[in-house]
């Protein structure tokens, strides 16, 4: 009886451990060194990556790259932060500077300087060799601002390598803008019988639409668009007090908007100099927030969180009776989402124009630098070396940089991509329809001198989240007697939250 | 539980009722006297009250049911109809393709399989553990029994959130096996130690429910001990006795436990969201909440509602078939899921 | 002889063998977490990232100070309290009235009872999405002079049908109390079945003779209800109130159901966050503070339960 009982209990224990064991199978021992890589690439980018991984593995058959898409950037960060605590982090990961600062609480990110400076000669399977480090030409080939981003952690050490970059751009409905301009310019229009009659809107200022280059112009443009749309309403609707179903501008990222304004106005966001890291609570910033709140109450602008989904949905909207927008500020890497759906003949309902975002001060243009870098995590020397070789391969390979840019709309990080014929052809074909990604890359490339980055430290990512939430909150302030006081309160709270989270 | 005497005294004092009024003979004469008049007004009042009762209950029932109705009609509307400025209370046309699309969008097939697998395995294992434990507490005499039982009951008081923080760490590095695996370079240990995104992590931490043990123990104790002693004299093993006598006798309770446990797997959200986010292990609630029903940059609510309806259906069916057991189990447990 | 002795010895410990699977699992997933939570709560600024490189943390109350001094935590605490205070009495009273009504009818009684039980067998996240859809307004700039509305949503249409102004319930720019009422409605809807079931069970076991007596006395129905039904049901009422408060302090997934992971209307993340939500938010980076918050939550639940028990002991007629 005892035996049976023991056997039975053993069975239970075995069932439990079998469950645990289920996880243990799956990695066949192929004698290769496996390198894991976490990223956020969608299917089209994974296809590009797979092609170049095959090339890399042909050069280094002893290595095997296992890559995995982990949701969004935040998901990558959260998962790795957990995995570091138990030493289970990947070898390579997509990263933003904030993430590196976080991982470094556990000293988990490998500094790259010793690899970069190494002159060790590595043999490849095809008989050629390369040095482990970066050659002078390779270093010079990087767009310097991007390359230096890896060194922004306050200790002058290199933590990350740039993979691809993007910024924010202004998408506008070119067809609409052109049509309005045409109304403004035409002295005569045809009436119902085909006769030329005087255009009542000839040189009517509200139709004089220009793509805004400053925020003042943006305000004007928004007001004009609303006036134009209101003019289209029927008399009955006007009498009933109806308003046009239009939101002139959508801004996708509240955080970017706030931080970019701080940079453009030179008013301060975060800093590593001095005791106080969070310096965004100042008069200038409160003023611009108050101004944008006015815009919101006037119906000029909405943002992603407030709208409830990407504002590109408003921009591409074509349905009758639906709310539309005619301008949208979003990532240059998301150009294809800002393009309306083509009809059965492949024709787009409108043409998209892309311009730099508006500036506060035309003499001091600033646009955000975003897009993934790569970092390598502490592990055995052999794994880190293999990881470095792969990172270097992706960042310096012209073919990969070109194909990745074509597939995504991200900007390559090396200059020599220009020599790639296919890539040149791709840029040449840029338009506001099928080749919108190329158009957005072109607009980005023209602004490379204006990119800024914010300091990265433990808590910088909290600050980013907080200022985004702060802007949302302030935009939504109702018409109360003392709006500036409400805004002041919200700023003070945001600072307190930053301190709590960074601490 | 009720001290009837005390309460009846209390009631009579409350209404200032005199003792003799409770005497039935007095009552009878009174009743006879006013029979005709009282009866008529009473009847009218009674009917009115009944009408009011039904009106109230049916109104409440309609309110309770309305979300279900709304879910069902929304799920067969077209997006255009759903977005009409004045919503229709009955769909103009039935778009059953929403169900197909909703099913696909939320990847419900995979989620169903995952959830059913986790539900079935955890229910079976949990039942085995519960039955063994309840048997030990109900029938066996062993050292430290009472102290152990009290300790188990005490753990019921502590909110589960308190466990989550540590359990999250535990399952990421079980017994430090993964750290050890990292140190000695053993892939096997590394993977055995990390339960993130496995079925194990969804099943094992919640196998033991002190409440179910308690429930079943009470049930087992109602079975006369003589049966057990007789069986022992006959040389029947514990397991055989358990299987042949106790389980059949306590079957209704076991069914209640089974259903509640399955419902728990179906409705669990917080823990699975923390520990299992890959497609192969995601559970249904998590998958449904996370699914993106956006079509052409707009949320396709009808499809979302269709997916919600699909997810709700199995529980309704289970409820219809096992209504009695569920209600009994719930009224005893007071735990949802 | 030795054989028999061995057998007796085994009998004495056999129970532990049967219990071993349960005990092992409880030790790992219940007992250890209790100790570990207390440990982490008192290690100042404990986080697993720094712990993984062997950082040393001081022992003290800093985590508690930080949590209590943090405004968002107070928001969470306030939201939780408000929801508790509103939903527990509301759902209990409503459930009591329904149970009494159900108990006094025969025709269709089981059918209606089944309807009232339906919300219990639903997935609170899934049906939360249905509620959200019912209250949702499709539009922009709600509450400003330039509001653009495409669809008011069914609830607002009902209000309009009665000539009332539509309300921005859960969308961006919505009022805090509008949000709270949506949550209250949903939570009460969700909590009714269990309470009705328990109270109805209690009613059915009440001795009919009290009612007969009251009837004969010509006591009004309302008086019967307050003077007989409620006192007799007091143990059950105490039970649903206590479990209601315990559940109420752990409110989380119903809010996710309505507002999503953001725990608030669009543009105002965390506006309706709760204690449990706060713990989960802190879980990935600030484990020390999460532990402190969990202990605070436990303390609150413990105190409220004790108060409830004390009050119900005084008021309950057993």
Q: Which chains touch C (3 or more CB pairs under 8 A)?
A: A, B
Which H helix or E strand runs over A301? strand A301-303
Q: Which residues of A touch C145 (CB under 8 A)?
A: 297-299
pLDDT score of C214: 79
Asked whether the predicted pLDDT for residue B12 surpasses 60, the reply is: no
Burial class (CB in 10 A: 0-12, 13-18, 19+), C97: middle
- Take residue A382 and report the two structure tokens written for it: 């052999």
C34 touches chain A (CB under 8 A): no
B45 touches chain C (CB under 8 A): no
- Take residue B20 and report the two structure tokens written for it: 């003799």
Distance CA C136, CA C128 (A): 12
pLDDT score of A19: 46
- C 50-89 residues inside an 8 A Cβ radius of B: none
pLDDT score of C317: 57
Report CA C275 to chain centroid distance, whole Å. 11
Asked whether the predicted pLDDT for residue C117 surpasses 50, the reply is: yes
Q: DSSP letter at B298?
A: E
Distance CA C172, CA B311 (A): 28
Q: DSSP letter at A150?
A: G
What residue of B is the nearest CA neighbor of A311? B297
Q: What's the rounded mean pLDDT across residues A180-202?
A: 85
Q: Do B204 and A19 touch (CB under 8 A)?
A: yes
**Most confident region among A91-105, B16-30, B193-207, C124-138 by mean pLDDT:** A91-105
Asked whether the predicted pLDDT for residue A155 surpasses 70, the reply is: yes
Chain B: give the shortest CA distance to residue C129, in Å.
8
pLDDT score of B317: 86
Question: pLDDT confidence of A4, banded at 50, 70, 90?
Answer: low
Mean pLDDT, chain A, integer: 87
Q: Which residues of A touch C18 (CB under 8 A)?
A: 5, 9
Q: Do B194 and A16 touch (CB under 8 A)?
A: no
pLDDT score of B33: 54
Asked whether the predicted pLDDT for residue B10 surpasses 60, the reply is: no
Question: pLDDT confidence of B253, banded at 50, 70, 90?
Answer: confident
ipTM tops 0.90: no
User: Length of chain C in residues, anyone?
Assistant: 318
* Most C-contacting residue of B2, B3, B10, B11 (CB-CB within 10 A), to test interface: B11
pTM of the prediction? 0.83
Q: Do C47 and A306 touch (CB under 8 A)?
A: no
Written out in words, the top-level CATH class of the domain with range B104-333 is mainly alpha
pLDDT score of B286: 83
Distance CA A144, CA A165 (A): 12
Q: Which residues of B touch A12 (CB under 8 A)?
A: 125, 128-129
Chain B: give the shortest CA distance to residue A316, in Å.
8
pLDDT score of A11: 54
Q: Do B336 and C297 touch (CB under 8 A)?
A: no
Span of A51-55, A319-323, A448-452, C298-302 with lowest mean pLDDT: A319-323
pLDDT score of A36: 92
For residue C266, give the nearest of A85, A102, A306 by CB distance: A306
C-alpha count within 13 angstroms, C-beta hemisphere, residue C136: 21
B159 touches chain C (CB under 8 A): yes
Span of A143-157, A357-371, B282-296, C158-172 with lowest mean pLDDT: B282-296
List pLDDT tens digits, range B181-196. 767 767 777 777 777 7
Q: Do C127 and B319 touch (CB under 8 A)?
A: no
Q: DSSP letter at C31?
A: I
Q: Would you state the torsion angle of the CA atoms of residues B195, B198, B203, B205, taken in this order, to the nearest 10 degrees? A: 20
Q: Which chains touch A (3 or more CB pairs under 8 A)?
A: B, C
Asked whether the predicted pLDDT for residue A477 surpasses 60, the reply is: yes
Q: Which residues of C touch A107 (CB under 8 A)?
A: 53
A292 touches chain C (CB under 8 A): no
Q: Do A106 and C71 touch (CB under 8 A)?
A: no
- How many CB atoms neighbour CB C109 within 10 A? 15
- B 160-199 residues inside an 8 A Cβ radius of C: 161-170
* Most B-contacting residue of A88, A252, A323, A382 (CB-CB within 10 A), to test interface: A88
Q: Do C17 and A5 touch (CB under 8 A)?
A: yes
Is the CB of residue C58 less than 8 Å from the CB of residue C43?
yes
Asked whether the predicted pLDDT for residue C318 surpasses 70, the reply is: no
Burial class (CB in 10 A: 0-12, 13-18, 19+), B124: middle
Q: Which residues of C touch A305 (CB under 8 A)?
A: 172, 266-267, 269
Asked whether the predicted pLDDT for residue B323 surpasses 90, the reply is: no
Percent of chain C clearing pLDDT 90 (strictly above): 34
∠ CA A157-A160-A166, nearest 5°, is 130
Q: What's the rounded mean pLDDT across residues C214-235?
A: 81
More confident residue, C296 or B192: C296
Q: Which of C121, C192, C196, C202 is nearest to B326 (CA)?
A: C121
C212 touches chain B (CB under 8 A): no
Q: Do A316 and B178 touch (CB under 8 A)?
A: no
More confident residue, A472 or B318: A472
pLDDT score of B31: 52
pLDDT score of A503: 76
What residue of C is the nearest CA neighbor of B157? C302
End-to-end distance of chain A based on CA atoms, in angstroms?
A: 61
More confident residue, A187 or A384: A384
pLDDT score of B336: 36
List pLDDT tens digits, range C240-270. 898 889 889 988 889 988 998 889 998 888 8
Distance CA C48, CA C33 (A): 15
- C 234-293 residues inside an 8 A Cβ radius of A: 266-270, 284-285
List pLDDT tens digits, range C36-89. 999 999 999 898 888 888 888 999 999 999 999 998 999 999 999 999 999 999
What residue of A is the nearest CA neighbor of B235? A1
Q: DSSP letter at A340?
A: P
Mean pLDDT, chain B, integer: 79
Asked whether the predicted pLDDT for residue B335 surpasses 90, the reply is: no
Q: For the residues of C217-262, what is the DSSP string, one character each? A: HT--HHHHIIIIIHHHHHHHHHHHHHHHHHHHHT--HHHHHHH-TT
What residue of B is the nearest CA neighbor of C9? B142
Q: Which residues of C touch B262 (CB under 8 A)?
A: none
Buried b or exposed e, range C250-271, using 16+ CB within 10 angstroms? bbbbbbbbbbbebbbbbbbbbb
Asked whether the predicted pLDDT for residue B19 surpasses 50, the reply is: no
Span of A67-71, A168-172, A393-397, B297-301 with lowest mean pLDDT: B297-301
Is the CB of residue A377 less than 8 Å from the CB of residue A110?
yes
Is the CB of residue B273 less than 8 Å from the CB of residue C256?
no
Question: pLDDT confidence of A478, banded at 50, 70, 90?
Answer: confident
Q: Which of C240, C129, C278 is nearest to B301 (CA)?
A: C129
Q: Which of A499, A492, A503, A501 is nearest to A470 (CA)?
A: A492
Percent of chain B clearing pLDDT 70 (strictly above): 82
For residue A472, give the nearest of C51, C148, C267 by CB distance: C267
List pLDDT tens digits, range A298-317. 999 999 988 877 888 889 88
For residue C125, give the nearest of B64, B159, B288 by CB distance: B288
List pLDDT tens digits, range A209-227. 999 999 999 999 999 999 9
Q: Which residues of B touch A317 (CB under 8 A)?
A: 297
pLDDT score of A9: 53
Q: DSSP letter at C69?
A: T
List pLDDT tens digits, range B46-60. 888 889 989 999 999
A4 touches chain B (CB under 8 A): yes
Q: What's the rounded mean pLDDT across residues C269-287?
A: 88
Q: What's the rounded mean pLDDT across residues B192-206?
A: 82
pLDDT score of A256: 95
Q: Which chains touch B (3 or more CB pairs under 8 A)?
A: A, C
Q: Do A299 and C144 touch (CB under 8 A)?
A: yes
Q: Which residues of C touch B137 (CB under 8 A)?
A: 15, 19
Domains of chain A, each with CATH number or no CATH: 33-164+371-437 (3.40.190.10), 168-369+452-502 (3.40.190.10)
List pLDDT tens digits, range A235-287. 888 887 778 889 999 999 999 999 999 999 999 999 988 888 999 999 999 99
Burial class (CB in 10 A: 0-12, 13-18, 19+), B29: exposed
Q: Which residues of C touch B71 (CB under 8 A)?
A: 127, 130
Buried b or exposed e, range C216-236, using 16+ CB within 10 angstroms? ebebeeeebeebbbebbbbeb
Q: Which residues of A touch C48 (CB under 8 A)?
A: 82, 85
Q: Which residues of A touch C21 (CB under 8 A)?
A: 9, 12-13, 16
A302 touches chain C (CB under 8 A): yes
Q: What's the rounded mean pLDDT across residues C212-216?
A: 78
Sign of CA dihedral A492, A494, A497, A498: negative
What residue of B is the nearest CA neighbor of C149? B85
Percent of chain C clearing pLDDT 70 (strictly above): 96
List pLDDT tens digits, range A83-129. 787 777 899 999 998 899 889 888 999 999 999 999 999 999 888 99
Q: Which residues of A touch C267 (CB under 8 A)?
A: 303, 305-306, 472-473, 475-476
Q: Do C148 and A106 touch (CB under 8 A)?
A: no
What residues contact residue B278 under an 8 Å CB cut-off, 6+ apart? B197
User: Per CATH, which fold does C63-315 belong to?
Assistant: MetI-like fold (1.10.3720)
Q: Do C146 and A297 touch (CB under 8 A)?
A: yes
Percent of chain A clearing pLDDT 70 (strictly above): 94
Distance CA B318, CA B139 (A): 33
Q: What's the rounded mean pLDDT across residues C98-119?
A: 88
Q: What's the rounded mean pLDDT across residues A429-458?
A: 88
Distances (CA, A) of C225 to C91, C99, C239: 17, 12, 19
Span of A342-351, A492-501, B154-163 with lowest mean pLDDT: B154-163
């Amino acid at each position: 009886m005892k035996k049976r009982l023991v056997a039975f209990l053993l069975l239970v224990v075995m069932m439990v451990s079998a469950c645990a064991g289920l996880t243990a199978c799956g990695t066949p021992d192929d004698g290769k060194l496996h390198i894991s890589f976490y990223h956020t690439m969608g299917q089209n980018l994974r296809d590009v990556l797979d092609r170049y991984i095959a090339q890399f593995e042909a050069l280094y058959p002893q290595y095997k790259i296992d890559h995995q898409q982990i949701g969004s950037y935040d998901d990558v960060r959260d998962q790795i932060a957990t995995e570091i605590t138990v030493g289970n982090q990947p070898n390579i990961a997509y990263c933003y500077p904030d993430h590196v600062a976080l991982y470094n609480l556990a000293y988990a990110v490998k500094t790259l300087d010793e690899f970069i400076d190494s002159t060790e000669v590595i043999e490849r399977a095809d008989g050629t060799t390369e040095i482990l480090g970066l050659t002078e030409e390779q270093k010079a080939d990087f767009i310097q601002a991007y390359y230096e981003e890896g060194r922004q952690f306050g200790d002058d050490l290199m933590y990350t390598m740039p993979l691809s970059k993007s910024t924010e751009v202004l998408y506008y409905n070119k067809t609409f803008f052109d049509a309005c301009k045409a109304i403004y310019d035409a002295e005569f229009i045809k009436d119902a019988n085909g006769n030329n009659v005087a255009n009542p809107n000839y040189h009517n200022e509200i139709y004089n639409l220009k793509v805004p280059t400053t925020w003042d112009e943006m305000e004007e443009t928004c007001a004009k668009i609303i006036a134009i749309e209101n003019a289209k309403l029927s008399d009955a609707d006007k009498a009933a007090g109806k308003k046009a179903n239009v939101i002139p501008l959508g801004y996708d990222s509240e955080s970017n908007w706030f931080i970019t304004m701080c940079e453009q106005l030179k008013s301060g966001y975060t800093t590593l100099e001095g005791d106080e890291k969070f310096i965004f609570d100042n008069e200038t910033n409160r003023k611009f927030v108050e101004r944008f709140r006015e815009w919101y109450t006037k119906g000029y602008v909405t943002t992603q969180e407030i709208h409830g989904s990407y504002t590109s949905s408003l921009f591409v909207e074509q349905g009758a009776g639906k709310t539309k927008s005619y301008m949208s500020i979003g990532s240059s890497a998301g150009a294809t989402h800002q393009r309306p759906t083509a009809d059965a003949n492949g024709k787009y309902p409108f043409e998209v124009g892309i311009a730099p975002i508006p500036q506060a001060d035309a003499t001091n243009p600033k646009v955000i630098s975003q897009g993934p870098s790569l970092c390598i995590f502490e592990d055995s020397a052999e794994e880190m070396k293999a990881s470095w070789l792969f990172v270097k391969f992706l960042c310096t390979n012209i073919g990969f940089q070109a194909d990745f840019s074509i597939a995504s709309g991200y900007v390559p990080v090396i200059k020599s991509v220009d020599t790639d014929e296919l890539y040149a052809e791709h840029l040449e074909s840029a338009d506001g329809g099928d080749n919108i990604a190329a158009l957005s890359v072109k607009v980005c490339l023209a602004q490379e001198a204006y990119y800024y980055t914010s300091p990265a430290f433990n808590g910088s990512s909290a600050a980013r989240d907080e200022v985004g939430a702060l802007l949302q909150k302030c935009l939504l302030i109702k018409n109360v007697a003392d709006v500036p006081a409400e805004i002041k309160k919200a700023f003070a709270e945001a600072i307190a939250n930053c301190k709590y989270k960074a601490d | 539980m009720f001290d009837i005497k005390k309460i009846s005294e209390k009631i009579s004092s409350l209404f200032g009722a005199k003792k003799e009024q409770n005497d039935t003979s007095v009552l009878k004469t009174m009743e006879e006297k006013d029979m005709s008049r009282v009866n008529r007004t009473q009847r009218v009042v009674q009917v009115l009250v009944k009408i009011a009762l039904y009106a109230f209950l049916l109104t409440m029932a309609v309110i309770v049911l309305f979300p279900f109705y709304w879910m069902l009609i929304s799920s067969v509307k077209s997006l255009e109809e759903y977005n009409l400025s004045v919503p229709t209370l009955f769909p103009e046309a039935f778009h059953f393709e929403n169900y197909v699309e909703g099913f696909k969008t939320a990847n419900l097939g995979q989620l169903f399989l995952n959830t059913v697998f986790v539900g079935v395995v955890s229910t079976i294992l949990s039942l085995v553990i519960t039955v063994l434990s309840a048997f030990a507490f109900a029938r066996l005499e062993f050292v430290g029994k009472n102290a152990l039982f009290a300790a188990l009951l005490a753990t019921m008081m502590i909110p589960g959130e308190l466990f989550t923080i540590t359990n999250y760490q535990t399952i990421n590095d079980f017994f430090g096996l993964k750290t050890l695996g990292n140190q000695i370079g053993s892939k096997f240990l590394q993977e055995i130690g990390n339960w993130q995104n496995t079925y194990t992590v969804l099943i094992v931490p919640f196998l033991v429910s002190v409440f179910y043990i308690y429930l079943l123990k009470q049930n087992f104790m109602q079975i006369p001990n003589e049966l057990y002693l007789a069986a022992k004299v006959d040389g029947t093993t514990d397991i055989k006795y358990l299987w042949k006598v106790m389980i059949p006798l306590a079957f209704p309770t076991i069914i209640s436990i089974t259903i509640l446990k399955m419902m728990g797997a179906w409705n669990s959200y917080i823990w699975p969201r923390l520990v299992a986010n890959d497609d192969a292990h995601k559970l249904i609630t998590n998958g449904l909440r996370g699914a993106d029903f956006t079509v052409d940059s707009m949320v396709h609510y009808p499809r979302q509602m269709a997916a919600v309806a699909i997810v709700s259906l199995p529980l309704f069916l289970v409820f219809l078939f096992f209504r009695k057991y569920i209600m009994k189990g719930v009224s005893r447990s007071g735990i949802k899921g | 002889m030795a054989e028999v002795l061995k057998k007796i010895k085994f009998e004495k410990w056999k129970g532990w063998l049967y219990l071993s699977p349960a005990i092992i699992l409880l030790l790992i997933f219940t007992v250890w977490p209790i100790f570990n939570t207390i440990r982490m709560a008192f290690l100042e600024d404990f986080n697993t990232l720094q712990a993984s490189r062997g950082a040393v943390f001081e022992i003290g109350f800093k985590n508690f100070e930080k949590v209590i001094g943090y405004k968002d935590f107070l928001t969470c605490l306030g939201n939780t309290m408000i929801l508790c205070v509103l939903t527990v009495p509301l759902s209990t009273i409503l459930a009591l009235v329904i149970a009494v009504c159900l108990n006094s009818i025969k025709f269709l009684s089981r059918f209606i009872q089944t309807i009232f039980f339906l919300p219990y067998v639903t997935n609170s996240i899934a049906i939360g999405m249905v509620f959200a859809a019912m209250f949702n307004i499709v539009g922009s700039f709600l509450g400003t002079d330039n509001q653009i509305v495409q669809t008011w949503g069914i609830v607002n249409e009902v209000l309009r049908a009665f000539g009332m102004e539509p309300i921005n319930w859960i969308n961006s720019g919505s009022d805090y109390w509008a949000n709270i009422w949506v949550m209250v409605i949903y939570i009460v809807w969700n909590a009714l079945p269990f309470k009705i079931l328990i109270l109805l069970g209690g009613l059915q076991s009440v001795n009919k003779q009290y009612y007969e007596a009251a009837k004969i006395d010509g006591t009004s129905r309302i008086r019967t209800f307050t003077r007989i039904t409620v006192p007799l049901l007091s143990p059950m009422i105490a039970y649903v109130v206590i479990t209601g408060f315990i559940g109420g302090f752990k409110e989380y997934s119903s809010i996710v159901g309505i507002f999503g992971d953001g725990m608030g209307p669009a543009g105002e993340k965390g506006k309706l966050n709760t204690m449990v939500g706060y713990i989960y938010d802190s879980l990935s980076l600030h484990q020390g503070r999460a532990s402190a918050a969990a202990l605070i939550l436990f303390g609150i639940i413990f105190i409220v339960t004790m108060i409830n028990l004390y009050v119900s002991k005084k008021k309950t007629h057993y």
